[in-house]
Amino acid sequence: MKEDELDKLFDSIEDSFDIYEPSENHEAKFLKKLKQQSDVKVVPIAPKKRNWVSIVSIAASIAILMGIFIPKMMTTEEETADLATISPKMEETQDFFTKAIAYQLEEIEQLSSENTEDLVKDAMSQLRKLEKNYDKLKIDLVQSGYNKKVISAMIKNFQKRSSLLEQVLEKIEEINELKLQENETDIL
């Protein structure tokens, strides 16, 4: 049925098909018209004016959202406590270890050399891990209700840090001593 209609359509317009070849100068005429069209100057359209009301409303929305969410994000920090908050004796213990560790770090800094650089870097890496562990213990202390096991773990953490630095100091002294002996043998 549709084919019949299509055939009828083509039969009715059969004589109007363009079956002739273009003239020899057709291409030249076409190129001339094309060139004339390309000589037309293009005038840029003025850019759209921005709707400042919408920009200001977006900025205000962002400011309001930041005002709501930033304070909430700031208060998500967990409550911590260290040994000094438990009792005066624990405060003394914390002060003792803190000062001892600071002194050991100063000594390491003074005695370290190129020969001990890798040893010191490794020790500082281990020390940072112990400090991160201590930070977790401070959170655990509050969450556990000042449990004695957590307090003991905090003291052991201080002891491990001090012991680590003491071992590093001994190794630095050994390395420096060996280097000094090598230099003396080279001189002789």
pLDDT at 17: 65
Region 13-40 average pLDDT: 73
pLDDT at 98: 92
Residue 113: which residues within 8 A CB-CB, separation 6 or more? 176, 179
SS (H, E, C) the chain: CHHHHHHHHHHHCHHHCCCCCCCCCHHHHHHHHHHHHHCCCCCCCCCCCCCHHHHHHHHHHHHHHHHHHHHHHHCCCCCCCCHHHCCHHHHHHHHHHHHHHHHHHHHHHHHCCHHHHHHHHHHHHHHHHHHHHHHHHHHHHHHCCCCHHHHHHHHHHHHHHHHHHHHHHHHHHHHHHHHHHHHHHHHC
Q: What is the pLDDT of residues 114-158, one digit of tens each?
A: 888 899 999 999 999 999 999 999 999 999 999 999 999 999 999
21 pLDDT more than 70: yes
Task: Write down the residue that tokens 């930041």 correspond to.
Answer: 66
Contact 147, 89 (CB under 8 A): no
What tokens were used for 46?
């003025």
11 pLDDT more than 90: no
Please provide the average confidence, as pLDDT, over all residues in the chain.
81
For residues 117-141, one letter each, b for 16 or more C-beta atoms within 10 angstroms of the residue's C-beta and e for the rest, the string is: eebbeebeeebeeeeeebeebbebb
Q: Which residue has the higher pLDDT, 48 or 164?
A: 164
pLDDT at 77: 58
Q: What is the pLDDT of residues 39-84, one digit of tens each?
A: 655 555 556 666 666 666 677 777 777 777 676 666 555 688 888 8
What tokens were used for 61?
């929305």
Percent of the chain's residues with pLDDT above 70: 76
pLDDT at 162: 94
What tokens were used for 90?
């624990």
pLDDT at 38: 65
pLDDT at 104: 93
